[in-house]
Structure 1
């Protein structure tokens, strides 16, 4: 497939992409299985193009955790929350230092976490049950304390402690091996910018409709065109491109959306975060 010609992004890029940097986009699951794997897209940035080399799938958390030890340089955009809302943390009396909070959170049983979160929500008015991070609104993301539909609280509980154990660098949150960096991404943010709220995926096989397939085709084409404010053009070989369209769960496409988001960050000062990000809550790439 011919690569699109380079063209400058609005405002220009701030710096060239570091040479030799491998990029990863990760669609995460707190309970991966043969039916629902953690999906990783691997690629690189070349000018305004994002070249997707391959997809990897992990059916066990330990297998994904082992991939974090792979030598860099790599930078990953991961679809899981890296922080909790400060309002929630202070109300519960939990540590307000990020590293201490993550140690505390990881040590709690999920049933205990659920009970604490339910009690917090029960004391709040209808329409404002959940606490939100500052980045949730701009990203259109679910609150990171949500334990169902989607269970992002369990994604944090499963994913972040493994990132810490592997010694990864978590910019803005925790210093680690600078050749292995992980940042929070959210594929829904980029998908909505490109195709609005049109549904393009489902974990329910009965909902694998032709309409959703057409939405994935449109989304891939928009990525290839470099549409949207990120102005980065996706390049994938025909077989991989077909896989992005044929995967009705959307996991492969979500991994690629995360890859594009992290590719955008590599030329941006401070990985593109706005000034004044709360070091307890963190931030979502491109929000």
Structure 2
């Protein structure tokens, strides 16, 4: 990255965005001297094409995207799909959601209670949902909608696909850092009836820790008062989550600038499954 302050993105993604529930993307700059991320602002996209258009612009970035980048190897091999990541993703993008749901439901139906879903190696340490899950949350559809557009934008995917791009996509998961800072306290809800003062207080505690750099990533978020209010007032948590993804991307960028070609991802990661940035090798 040639710039003294490289651009970092953080994306709270939706596979079916709308004006009411858009894709929220944080944009900022990494300042290595102060180990800070300077939040420039937020962009909201009510449709996938608008988001794709933003990504296609000719500007370098390192982005943390809150969507799975891959499927479990066990699932892919049982379905007989390509085990090369890019070929697998191209095959997956060619399926419609109804067929995906049908095939995944059939896979789960043949498995014992308590082990219905296949998991990637990163799911346990990250505490993330299995990427084949099509409801609550529908992360399988997020993968289906998001990865093909990141590929079309020309991004590199460390550990999965390298093609010398000035755009680098990292799989992020804001829940990983949020749990560290708030434990099991809930801090967001799309249901207005559940947008409580307790959840607002949890968002405040999380944001305070991010601004102070008081967390395991050891970097600070620098945000204006207006930007801070935006994150606190958004009871869905989407703006705060986007900012957390941006910090996770900045952590990966800092590792890369220190000589790590994998942006902090563990060496030996399965090249079909990938890894969530900042996730440890095992659950704490």
TM-score under structure 1 length normalisation: 0.92
Q: Once the two structures are superposed, what CA deviation does each residue of 1:71-113 show, in whole Å capped at 9, x if it has no partner?
A: 2221110000000000010111111011110111111111111
For the aligned residues, what is the CA RMSD? 1.3
The question of whether the paired residues in 2 share the 8 Å contact of 1:18 and 1:266 is answered with no
Q: Structure 2 regions of 5+ residues with no counterpart?
A: 280-284
Cross-structure match for 2:263: 271
Deviation for aligned residue 1:167: 1.5
The answer on 1:209 being equivalent to 2:165 is: no
The answer on 1:41 being equivalent to 2:26 is: yes
Cross-structure match for 1:286: 278
The question of whether the paired residues in 2 share the 8 Å contact of 1:272 and 1:285 is answered with yes
Q: Could you tell me how far apart the structure 2 residues matched to 1:261 and 1:99 are?
A: 24
The question of whether the paired residues in 2 share the 8 Å contact of 1:78 and 1:185 is answered with yes
Q: Could you tell me how far apart the structure 2 residues matched to 1:73 and 1:207 are?
A: 39
The answer on 1:148 being equivalent to 2:135 is: yes
**Tell me, what secondary structure is at the counterpart of 1:271?**
coil
Matches within 5 A, 1:183-202: 183-202=170-189
Q: Structure 1 regions of 5+ residues with no counterpart?
A: 1-15
The question of whether the paired residues in 1 share the 8 Å contact of 2:12 and 2:245 is answered with yes
Q: 1:158 to 1:200 in 2, by over 3 A?
A: same
TM-score under structure 2 length normalisation: 0.93
Matches within 5 A, 1:105-120: 105-120=92-107
Cross-structure match for 2:282: none
Matches within 5 A, 1:106-255: 106-176=93-163, 178-255=165-242
Deviation for aligned residue 1:177: 5.2
The question of whether the paired residues in 2 share the 8 Å contact of 1:20 and 1:73 is answered with no
